[in-house]
Amino acid sequence: MSKVAIIGAGNVGGTLAQRIAEADLADVVLLDVAEGVAQGKAFDLADARQLIGHDRLVIGTKDYTDISDADIVVVTAGLARQPGMTREDLLKKNTAIVSEISVEVSRHAAQAILIMVTNPLDVLTNIALLKTGFEPRQVVGMGGVLDASRCANLIAEALGVSAATVQAMVIGAHGENMLPLLRYSTVSGIPATELLTPEQQQRVISETTQRGARIVASLGKGSAYYAPSAAALTMIKAILHDEQKILPCCAMVDDVYGLEDVCIGVPVQLGMQGVEEIIELELTDEEQSKLQEAAKGIKSALVMIHG
């Protein structure tokens, strides 16, 4: 019986718990340090079991011993980005939160695959890998799956086609330094660059890059959670079902793409062992330069954290 632990019972964590249970994918442990929040949401989700038609257990807790034997741990806990706040503004506050969580995960669920969702995603994925002491394959960040989904949606809208026919590729940092690769994005196997006009391509790239910030600005309080929880669910399915699915995720890259010792968004083969392979795409000089700059930004943030 599969078990997924979700650390953080906010909008992303609560919605993800609902998606997992209703997909009959795994039992869920929802953990939050705020008194009663995880327990209340777990009761509410469990009360829907008869109506939805599943028998997955949903447990709410603030005790880390309840995550023992989890196959996957998803970290969504942390402060949400507010209007006018960059992902970097979140860094110091969320670093402390993720560091504490990482120690608890390593103590109680050392065999698990750890999926990072908390922002700034790339920096905190690096922090989680360091603090848990896990193997690189065990720690993976969600950012690229979400960014690619946004890009695919925008391509579908521009062309007036079904979003289900679109596969997009976005690498780099999860944020303003992401790198949508439309020549590696397809519509039923046709490269998106053959279907989109140059103007449409620029619009898709720009809107993909700014989508998260626009959602934050529109909401006024909080940030996206429907698509992020769906992105995390896609990764969980790939791991639990050993799909060997190629997805753009934040993973440890060392001696690939000309990068060394940094977690950043790249295509990975995701399966039961976590990150089973890094897929190296052929990049243009401009794309390689932008990826290098994104990696430098992540490393600079890590240096700032560690003094």
The residues annotated as belonging to the active site are 174
Residue bearing tokens 């790939």: 238
Dihedral (CA of 234, 240, 241, 246) sign: positive
Quick check: 18 and 41 in contact, CB under 8 A? no
- Parallel/antiparallel/unpaired status of strands 186-187 and 178-180: unpaired
Measured between alpha carbons, how far is residue 175 from residues 41, 80, 108, 265, 287 in Å? 30, 14, 31, 11, 16
30, 129, 253, 274, 281 from 261: Cα distances, Å: 32, 11, 6, 18, 18
For 87-195, where are the E strands, in sequence order?
Answer: 113-116, 139-141, 166-167, 170-172, 178-180, 186-187, 190-191
Q: Which of 31, 41, 33 is nearest to 74 (CA)?
A: 31
